[in-house]
Amino acid sequence: MSSRCRGFIALTLGSAAVLAAILMPQSAVAMEPTTVPSQGDGFHLDSQWYAEHFEVSLQEASARLNRQLTIGRFEVEVSDLLGDSFAGVFIEHEPNYGVVVLTTDSNNEDTIASRATGDGLGDLVETRTVHRTLSSLEASLRASVVEAHELGVQIDGMVDVRNNVVLLRVLGSDYHMIHAGAGTIVQVVPQLLREEVTLEAGTAITLCTAGFTVQDDHSSTEGIVTASHCPNFQNFVVGGTTYNLPYHDETIGGSRDVQWNGGGTTNVRPWAADYNGNDGTPYYRVIDGQVARANQVVGAVVCKWGTSTQYTCGQIASKNSEPAAIVPNPLPTWIYVDGGSQNLSEGGDSGGPWYSGSLAYGVHHGGFGNDSVYMAINYITTLDVTLCTPANC
């Protein structure tokens, strides 16, 4: 498993060109890009990826990506309506596009259909009846992680909403120690999820990828977030000059793996790297908002930037992942992204930004094969910082 860092504002601590575009040295005004940032550029790039990957028109791809926010709100509403019988929502892209609502009570179909019509989703929504509620799967995952911890066994786990099961990953030597109850699948893997921090000899840069830019809630100091498991003392190099990013605070455990560093003598901008050189902006997209974990939907397409793997995209496979192998006392709130044939994480990607269009989704935590895990963006508020957008930074 490898962890890739793609920063919110992608101070990719490994690419001086991108970092210089986001944290501009105050004395280097001449380096200012001549193109005015367009908030549509990043969304267009993501739509191109979707169109090519799922073989649909660019117009259809854009419509589906735009709809992800509506589906996120719909999930929250349906969860409240169904209560204990709610078992999850996910977006299906193939063979047919649609939204699937899972419930343990077949009598909920009319309630779901009515809510779907009210949200403008209409015939796109399908209801399926399953055996286990989402809350019961979360409880089962939590119990398995606690039991493994008591036995001294490291595992990674997540709720697989699509298949209505809990998936546990363990090393082969520990397989006999894990008790798999009903609705739990145990998968033997050669290695567990891990963060990826790299160092190349002689490079005067930090070991990860810078995330989104943020502003301190109390002092208005601006800077960047990255993963807490990255070194506290961060810097980057541009034009032969090293710029320090002073450490402020961090938290790791539960739902969080994040730290923030001040921008020092740089000019902080609400941008995120994507190396999109064909659209209006060079290297970056403007970030003008965020999507909290509650509104992130299984099946949604999200993209990211990392120093090593750069711009790649995947589908959210679970929003109830629990990377117990490396996060102290983890909670099942982590976002697990299926990379398919695209590698989403390598050494040096930790801390980088996950986004869709101009909206921030999370901070890169780690990787597993071609897949990855990130922390939802709303958890940065623990550090008393706020995401930078054109409105506040």
Residue 196 pLDDT exceeds 70? no
Of 63-72, 116-125, 213-222, 321-330, minimum mean pLDDT range: 321-330
Stated as kind and residue range, the H or E segment containing 148 is helix 134-151
Question: pTM of the prediction?
Answer: 0.84
CB 263 within 8 A of CB 247: no
3-state DSSP assignment of residue 279: coil
Higher pLDDT among residues 353 and 182, named by residue: 353
3-state DSSP assignment of residue 390: coil
Phi first, then psi, for residue 157 (nearest 5°) are -145, 160
Query: In the numeric block, which tokens belong to residue 258?
Result: 């994040």
Stated as kind and residue range, the H or E segment containing 188 is strand 184-189
Residue 67 pLDDT exceeds 60? yes
Query: In the numeric block, which tokens belong to residue 84?
Result: 């204990």
CB 335 within 8 A of CB 318: yes
**Average pLDDT of the chain, as a whole number:** 83
Length of the chain as a residue count:
393
Stated as kind and residue range, the H or E segment containing 68 is helix 58-82
Higher pLDDT among residues 358 and 12, named by residue: 358
Residue 25 has a pLDDT of 47
CB 354 within 8 A of CB 361: yes
Residue 283 has a pLDDT of 72
pLDDT band at 105 (very low <50, low <70, confident <90, very high): very high
User: What would the pLDDT profile of 258-298 be if each residue is shown by its tens digit?
Assistant: 999 888 777 788 888 887 554 445 578 889 999 999 999 99
Query: In the numeric block, which tokens belong to residue 135?
Result: 């809350």
User: What would the pLDDT profile of 127-155 be if each residue is shown by its tens digit?
Assistant: 999 999 999 999 999 888 888 888 888 88
Task: Tell me the angle at which helices 58-82 and 109-118 cross, rounded to the nearest 10 degrees.
Answer: 130
Query: Percentage helix, strand, coil, to 5, in the chain?
Result: 25, 35, 40
Of 2-6, 17-21, 148-152, 320-324, minimum mean pLDDT range: 2-6
Residue 174 pLDDT exceeds 50? yes
CB 43 within 8 A of CB 358: yes
Task: Look at residues 389, 358, 390 and name the one whose alpha carbon lies nearest to residue 68.
Answer: 358
pLDDT band at 20 (very low <50, low <70, confident <90, very high): very low
- Amino acid identity for residue 31 in this structure: M
CB 292 within 8 A of CB 236: no
